[in-house]
Structure 1
Amino acid sequence: MNAQHPTFNPPADEDVKIWRYMDFTKLISLFDSEALFLSRADKLGDPFEGSFPLANVLARAFVPAQVPEEFKANFQEAMAKKAITHKRVSRCVAVNCWHMNDHESAAMWKLYLKSDEGIAIRSSYRRLRDAIQHEGPVYVGCVNYIDYQQEWFPEANLLNPFVYKRKSFEHERELRVVLPVFSAASPGREYFEVPTIDHGINVKVDLQVLIESVYIAPGTAKWFHDLVSSAITRYGHTFRIVQSELSQEPIW
C-alpha cells in the first residue's frame, strides 16, 4: 500500500501527468506480472544514488558541543562508519522512476529507448498512488535536485538520500516509488551488511487504475502499433493507444 512518510512529498497537483518510457518487452512484462519492477537503488546507473552532498560529509568531522567528553570518541567512530553504512543501505532500497510532465518528452524518448519500437505509459500521481497493492508500506514522492558541492539535506532519516539527486538530472522531473527492505543484523553481522534485495522487487499494481493510456514511440511503423494493440487486447485490457505527437508532419 502507499504510505505517508515525511521524506516523500507529493506533487502540488495530485493529477499531474506522469510517464514511464519503456521498450515493448517491458510492457509485456508489466502486463504479465501486473507489477511494477523496482530496481535496487545501487543498480540504477547513477553512482551518486543514495549518497550525501559534500557539506553533509564534511560536517561529520565536527563533534557537537553538547556531546559529553566521555562520549566524543564513540561519536567520532560512529561518524566515521556512516559512509560504509549508507553505501550498504542502497542495497536494501528499491526504486521505480516516472517522469512528471503535461506532455510527452522528446528527450525522454531518446534517453530510455534503444530503438524506435517503444511505448510510454501515461498515468498520474493519483493513479500511481492508488494503484499500488503491495502489502507493506511503499512510498511515492518527488525528487529534489540540489548542488551536491554547495548544498546539503537533513540526515534524520535513512531514506532522505533517495529523494535527492544532482542538478544535472533536473530535466528528469522525477517522481519515484521507493520500497525499503530493512532487516535486523544477523549474528556476527552489522546492520545493512548483507543485501536484502538481489536485483529488484516486483510491486503489485492494479493496471486498470494505473494506466490512463499507452503512447507509441515516434517514427514507428504501423505493424508495431498493431502489435501493441494486439497485446493489450490479449491481456484483457482496453487502454487507449495514442501515436506520439512527435510523429506529426510540420505545417508550412
Structure 2
Amino acid sequence: MYIPHNNITIPEPDTVVWKYLDLSKFLDLLLSKKLFMSRSDKFEDQYEGTFSEPTYLEMKKIAENNPKFLKYYKKHREKVVVSSWHINEYESYAMWQIFTQNSEGLAIQSTVGRLQEALTVEKRYEQYIGAVNYIDYKKELIPFEDTFFPFLFKRKSFQYEGEVRIISDLTNYKMEINDGVKINVDINKMIEKIYIHPKSQNWYNNLVFQLMEQLGFNFTIEKSDLQSDILI
C-alpha cells in the first residue's frame, strides 16, 4: 500500500513519469500484475544507498562509541527495494537509448498520482514515493536521521535521470531478498499510455497491438514520434 511520508519530498500528483523497458519485462508486468522492485545494492551505481563524504565523517564520529551504527547502514541496503521512474513532461531520447535495446522497447507513461492509486492493492508491504535529490557527494551532507534518505540522494552525474522512486523497506519482514521483489499493482491505474520504440518496425508495432488485444487490455498505444519524417 502507498503511505505518505513526512520527510520525503513527493512531486505533485499530476507530475508525468515514465518507465522504459523491453518487451519481456513489460509482458511480465502485465501477466503477473506485479511490479518488480530491485534490491538497492543491485543497481549499477555502487553509491546507491550510501552517504556523501561529509555525512560519512559525521557517522564515523557516532560509530566510535557505537560500532554497530555503520554496520546497520551497510546491511540495510540489502533490505530496501526500489522501482525507478523518470520525471519528464515529454519522451526522453536518452532514456530510450539507455533502457531499451534493438529498437524493441516500450515506454509506460503515467503520473505520480496514478502510481499512488496503483499501489493501493498491495497489502503486504508499505510503499513510499519520493523524488531523488542530486548533490555533490564530496561537499554536501545527506541527512541520516531517517533511514530512507540515503536512497533519495544521488550524485550530480546522474541528474539526467530526473528520477522519482517507489521505495519499500523490508527490514522487518523475515524474508530473503535476492535480486528484488514483486509487488501487487493495479495495472489499469498505473498505465495511462504506452509508447512504442521510435525505431521499431511495423511487424513489432503490430505485435504489440495484438498482444494487448489478446490479453484484454485497452491501453492507448502510440508509436513514438521521435523518429517521424521531416517535413521538408
Structure-2 separation of matches of 1:47 and 1:61: 20
Change (3 A) 1:120 1:61: closer
Q: Is 1:83 paired with 2:70?
A: yes
Q: Partner letter of residue 103 of structure 1?
A: Y
TM-score normalised according to structure 1 size: 0.87
Kept in 2, the 8 Å contact 1:8–1:141? The answer is: yes
Q: Partner letter of residue 54 of structure 1?
A: E
Q: Is 1:223 paired with 2:179?
A: no
Structure-2 separation of matches of 1:21 and 1:148: 27
Partner-residue secondary structure (3-state), 2:167: strand
Aligned to 1:163: 152
Partner-residue secondary structure (3-state), 1:116: coil
Gaps of 5+ in 1: 64-74, 185-193
Query: Within 5 Å, which residues of 2 pair with 1:1-252?
Result: 1-11=1-11, 13-62=12-61, 76-78=64-66, 80-132=67-119, 133-135=121-123, 136-183=125-172, 196-252=176-232
Q: Partner letter of residue 200 of structure 1?
A: G
Structure-2 separation of matches of 1:62 and 1:180: 26
Kept in 2, the 8 Å contact 1:131–1:210? The answer is: yes
Q: Give the drift of 1:198.
A: 1.4
Structure-1 separation of matches of 2:47 and 2:88: 24
Structure-2 separation of matches of 1:20 and 1:134: 20
Kept in 1, the 8 Å contact 2:36–2:183? The answer is: yes
Give the alignment's Cα RMSD to 1 decimal: 1.6
Partner-residue secondary structure (3-state), 1:77: coil
* CA displacement, residues 36-73 of structure 1 (integer Å, 9 cap, x when unaligned): 1001001111100000000011123446xxxxxxxxxx
Gaps of 5+ in 2: none
TM-score normalised according to structure 2 size: 0.94
Structure-2 separation of matches of 1:16 and 1:60: 35
Q: Give the drift of 1:134.
A: 1.2
Percentage identity across paired residues of the two chains: 34
Change (3 A) 1:60 1:209: closer
Kept in 1, the 8 Å contact 2:86–2:162? The answer is: yes
Q: Give the drift of 1:197.
A: 1.4
Structure-2 separation of matches of 1:10 and 1:61: 30
Q: Give the drift of 1:167.
A: 0.7
Flag the structure with larger Rg: 1
Kept in 1, the 8 Å contact 2:85–2:163? The answer is: yes
Change (3 A) 1:91 1:61: closer
Partner-residue secondary structure (3-state), 2:226: helix
Partner-residue secondary structure (3-state), 1:226: helix
Structure-2 separation of matches of 1:150 and 1:3: 32
